[in-house]
Amino acid sequence: LAEVWGAPNKIPKGGVVLMHGCGGYNGGNIRDWAELFVARGYVAIGIDSFSTRGIDNTCNGGKVLMRVGDAYAGAKQLVEKYNVEPAKLVLMGFSHGGITTNLALNRQILDQYSRHIGDTGKFAVGVSLYPFCFNTERAPDFYSPVTIVIGLKDDWTPPRGCTFWRDNQNPDSAPLEVN
């Protein structure tokens, strides 16, 4: 299930796929961000990964990988129906959606989900707001730049894993910024 914002008769500057957090799709948060992007000339799509699957929330874990396919399906819709150039696709996720963003821009995960991409290409950039960066043994190998925004004193999604990734990046990885 998806909700799209933006003028269909205009060629957008780019497209933004918005992924909700673990509590599910609450149009307000997603809508506020979508309207901010639309005001700047972008088209935005909010992806509801849970309601059609009968999932209330995933705040205690799970269901992240299935959402990677949802993100790429949203990108495909923006390219095919809203004239977004594939090189101008942004993936932005909140908490659980931020985890999804980090996974979707990981080269290893991309290889597994490449059939979802078709001719739409890959995301040009990822923005993860307060994700849980769970693997502290090895930093992801991102194919496009990723910015992670996280609170230094956050006790729900602590920054330790994200700063580990930043400090231990693979030299072949696209840039990772942690703020």
pLDDT tens across 56-76, in order?
Answer: 878 877 767 789 989 998 998
Q: Which of 6-15, 102-111, 128-137, 170-179 has the lowest mean pLDDT?
A: 6-15
pLDDT of res. 116: 61
Distance CA 159, CA 162 (A): 5
| Whether the predicted pLDDT of 105 surpasses 80 | yes
In the Cβ-directed half-sphere of 77, how many Cα atoms lie within 13 Å?
A: 20
How large is the angle between the packed helices 96-104 and 107-117, nearest 10 degrees? 90
What is the predicted pLDDT for the residue at 179? 92
**Strands across the sheet containing 43-47:** 2-5, 43-47, 15-19, 89-94, 125-129, 146-149, 176-178
- CA 92, 37, 115, 108 torsion-angle sign: negative
Residue 158: other Cβ atoms inside 10 A: 16
What is the reported pTM? 0.92
Give CA torsion, residues 50, 55, 61, 65, to 10 deg. Answer: -40
pLDDT tens, residue by residue, 1-20: 788 999 666 778 999 999 99
pLDDT of residue 94 exceeding 90: yes
- Calculated CA dihedral for residues 41, 52, 106, 154, nearest 10 degrees: 80
Among 19-23, 52-56, 135-139, name the one with the lowest average pLDDT: 135-139
Most confident of the following: 22-36, 45-59, 60-74, 139-153: 139-153
